[in-house]
């Protein structure tokens, strides 16, 4: 009897601990000055004080071996970029780890608790559990981590210079696209309007706010508290902004995808590619990444154009943290773009972008 109740007791204990953590955030200090007044160059607050470099270059210069982490937020153009990153890593001899893996016990427990459908070994969990389980000598071989995980890889590499990058998207468009891709047509799912207003709120803030390694259940519980408590939501937004400044060397915008990829390619090529003269002298070609995204669908845009102003307003209120985070990311991107004027207006696309 007691054994059958053990999972529920463990869940209650975990919920209590997370709740206490967020209640404590009610009494946290105001937004730091560094977040209220964006510095001229956001990298000035970064923990990385020497120029970006890749593994081979860093070893030659006796620097700590850096680790690059692509935090792939859903429906922000990451799949097109990921394909190029795979090729970039392979041709430049970089060790690669993808954080998505077959569903395990923690993911099944979380799915059961939150009424989602998953099967052992068939569904996918994207977290840092497999990476954490690797022996230290195997982790030392990794140069690039990518996937839909939360922020937190740096906790597994205390002696490495961990450098994150990501893309964001306007919350209304991202959420409509997410519904089209993941939710539409599934049995028992809500209508699009109910989903946009009620479910999966402030996804980008939640993903970017976490600063520790946590499994599926812990992160799902934390996400629920962000939804339920306004103080927790504001604390998560502060943490997400802080992470973008302190840990991310680049934040791109899906709406300005061509310019964003151009800037990212300039940075990575200077650090890892042709300009560093690595083994195969392979450079990322941003025009190819952009070209791979062109298609004729544009369904997200059509859905938004057909949406009433009342529904749009309700969605934006529900996504208020993500809206503020996106505006913050826009300012970060503009600051970065000033350093690469050749990328402004680059690779103009003639076709409609993906949904």
Query: 171-180, 196-205, 220-229, 244-253: which range is least confident on average?
Result: 220-229
For the chain, the residue count is 355
On the CB side of 338, CA atoms within 13 Å amount to: 8
Q: Helix or strand or coil: residue 61?
A: coil
pLDDT at 348: 59
d(CA 296, CA 249): 32
Encode pLDDT of 97-108 as tens digits: 998 877 766 666
Encode pLDDT of 138-183 as tens digits: 999 999 999 988 898 999 999 899 999 999 999 999 999 989 887 7
Q: Please say if the pLDDT value at position 59 is more than 80.
A: no
pLDDT at 170: 96
Mean pLDDT score, 261-273: 83
d(CA 95, CA 249): 20
pLDDT at 287: 72
Determine if the pTM surpasses 0.85.
Answer: no
What domains are there in the chain, each with its CATH number? 48-343 (3.40.50)
Encode pLDDT of 174-211 as tens digits: 999 989 887 776 655 668 899 899 888 999 999 999 76
d(CA 204, CA 201): 9
Encode pLDDT of 301-349 as tens digits: 899 999 999 999 999 999 999 999 999 999 999 999 999 999 998 765 4
């Amino acid at each position: 009897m007691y054994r059958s109740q053990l999972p529920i007791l463990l869940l209650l204990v975990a919920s209590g601990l997370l709740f206490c953590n967020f209640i404590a955030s009610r009494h946290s200090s105001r937004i730091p000055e560094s977040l209220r007044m964006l510095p001229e160059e956001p990298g000035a607050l970064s923990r990385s004080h020497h120029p970006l470099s890749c593994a081979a270059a860093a070893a030659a210069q006796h620097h700590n071996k850096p680790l690059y982490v692509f935090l792939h937020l859903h429906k922000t153009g990451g799949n097109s970029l990921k394909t190029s990153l795979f090729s970039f890593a392979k041709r430049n001899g970089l060790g690669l780890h993808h954080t998505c893996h077959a569903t395990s016990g923690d993911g099944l427990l979380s799915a059961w608790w939150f009424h989602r459908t998953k099967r052992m070994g068939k569904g996918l969990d994207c977290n840092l559990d497999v990476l954490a389980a690797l022996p230290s000598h195997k982790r030392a071989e990794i140069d690039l981590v990518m996937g839909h995980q939360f922020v937190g890889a740096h906790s597994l590499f205390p002696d490495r210079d961990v450098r994150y990058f990501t893309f964001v998207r306007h919350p209304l468009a991202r959420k409509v696209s997410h519904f089209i891709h993941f939710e539409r047509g599934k049995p028992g799912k809500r209508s699009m309007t109910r989903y946009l207003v009620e479910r999966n709120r402030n996804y980008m803030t939640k993903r970017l706010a976490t600063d520790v390694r946590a499994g599926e259940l812990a992160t799902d519980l934390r996400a629920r508290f962000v939804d339920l408590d306004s103080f927790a939501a504001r604390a998560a937004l502060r943490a997400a902004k802080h992470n973008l400044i302190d840990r991310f060397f680049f934040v791109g915008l899906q709406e300005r995808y061509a310019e964003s990829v151009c800037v990212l390619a300039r940075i990575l090529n200077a650090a890892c590619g042709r300009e560093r003269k690595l083994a195969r002298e392979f450079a990322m070609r941003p025009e190819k990444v952009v070209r791979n995204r062109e298609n004729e669908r544009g369904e997200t845009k059509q859905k938004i154009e057909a949406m009433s102003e009342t529904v749009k307003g309700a969605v934006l209120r529900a996504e208020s943290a993500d809206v503020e985070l996106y505006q913050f990311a826009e300012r970060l991107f503009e600051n970065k773009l000033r350093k690469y004027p050749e990328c402004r207006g680059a690779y103009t696309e003639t076709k409609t972008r993906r949904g």
